[in-house]
Structure 1
């Protein structure tokens, strides 16, 4: 027997006793996703109502919500007797009891990375962040239809991902792992062209590999992108790095200041 496994760092997934649970699109999927994002805590009736119906709640949202919770419990029970009992009712709302959730594991690994950083163990910090980042399978809950969820919750989760990714790159640069970062950073600057730190990390990685001309080209691309899309120039750190590379400074590493 395997305990329930839930995933929110990408498409919504639920597995019970080793079998994938097919969560119907619509309100049940939104309900499960919302409960999982507040796993092991009571999610208020107001929040659940907003996530399920956005700005158009039914006349009796409490009764409609109870119906969807009942259906969700029944669906989970079909895959494992008693699994539906993971969802608890309180006067304030509903709670799902979860012991295996990718978001919880990610945050625990980020915490372990922070502890490693505090004792100066950059290799262990990189390992923990790498393990945590591997849990991300794509855009958060892109298969869940809820305007308010994607407006109010998903952006902060995406920012957690970017902070961890940025930090792991910073640590790997400090460890001299320039060559292995180049391909990853080229892909990230293409996907997040306005995230200036990714451009700076790419410049550092290229310069560290002895590819200074390409590092200067990357600066030119970053400058053009920021100017064309935001009407601004790169920040002082990026400009200083550009100047250092132009002057033929030796390869350098990012200073790994704790930010995650």
Structure 2
């Protein structure tokens, strides 16, 4: 009897069935499965898949090599799951994987993110916060560290990571509006360590430090992000951060 498979990509690649974990062999099968799961229910072209699997060093017969990889992946999934005919479809343009929110954490994340946006539009901040919390809980990042594909991590993963960063930003904004500054400092320090050029997290950290009466630490944080940007990117902080810094120096309460 076939079992439903569950896939998780918001962290290390993880596949499970009702009978336990499903081991996906390291190498091209993991890359192919990840590429399909990051575009769920969408046809991924043959050319794009070849690029993600082999980067710049392509095999002599890329379509044949891709087909062989797909056959092996289907066999791996079929040995524990729902069968290739019900999971990965072949079209004239490429391949797609058919999954629902109950089967893929990325789709659940987007469903919660969408629910949060809808709640914000109707002014229901409690429902928005609940949906944001559920979305954040799904993240086990960084994404797919066990999948070796330079193209995937350069071209695809950052777009999805950006979705998560926006959810975190909004969740912080709600907490800050409720006066939870001190509770956020530790979390924001960890985030700026992991994402050192994400200026919005630095902005939120500096505001929280100021509201906690830690003005010197706030100025030090601005100095740190300014130095990083100049040394590594050759640029100054954005207007929002610069205005915040000036307000702190002037002692403006708002």
TM over 0.5: yes
- Distance of 2:3 and 2:182 partners within structure 1: 41
- Local SS of the residue matching 1:153: helix
Alpha-carbon distance, 1:58 to partner: 2.6
Alignment partner of 1:147 is 2:141: no
Unaligned 5+ segments in structure 2 are none
- Distance of 1:206 and 1:18 partners within structure 2: 48
- Contact 1:75-1:84 at 8 Å conserved across structures: no
- Distance of 1:231 and 1:69 partners within structure 2: 44
- Distance of 1:244 and 1:56 partners within structure 2: 52
Please show how residues 143-222 of structure 1 align to structure 2 within 5 Å.
143-222=146-225
Matching residue within 136, 140, 143 for 1:137: 140
- Distance of 1:240 and 1:62 partners within structure 2: 54
Change (3 A) 1:101 1:234: same
Change (3 A) 1:54 1:216: closer
Deviates more, 1:116-125 or 1:224-233: 224-233
- Contact 2:3-2:80 at 8 Å conserved across structures: no
- Contact 1:123-1:175 at 8 Å conserved across structures: no
- Distance of 1:236 and 1:57 partners within structure 2: 44
- Contact 1:114-1:125 at 8 Å conserved across structures: yes
CA offset digits 1:194-238 (Å, max 9, x no partner): 222212111111222233332233223333333333343333322
- Contact 1:77-1:84 at 8 Å conserved across structures: no
Alpha-carbon distance, 1:81 to partner: 5.4
- Distance of 2:86 and 2:200 partners within structure 1: 45
Unaligned 5+ segments in structure 1 are 253-260
Runs of 4+ in 1 over 6 A off after TM superposition: none
Change (3 A) 1:247 1:12: same
Matching residue within 103, 107, 110 for 1:104: 107
TM-score, L = length of structure 2: 0.88
Alpha-carbon distance, 1:31 to partner: 1.2
- Distance of 1:81 and 1:120 partners within structure 2: 42
Alpha-carbon distance, 1:101 to partner: 0.7
1:256 maps to none
- Local SS of the residue matching 2:221: helix
Please show how residues 82-121 of structure 1 align to structure 2 within 5 Å.
82=83, 85-99=86-100, 100-121=103-124
Please show how residues 4-15 of structure 1 align to structure 2 within 5 Å.
4-15=5-16
Alpha-carbon distance, 1:24 to partner: 0.3
**Matched residue pairs, number?**
251
Deviates more, 1:22-31 or 1:1-10: 1-10
Deviates more, 1:24-33 or 1:241-250: 241-250
TM-score, L = length of structure 1: 0.86
- Contact 1:140-1:154 at 8 Å conserved across structures: yes
Q: CA RMSD in A?
A: 2.2
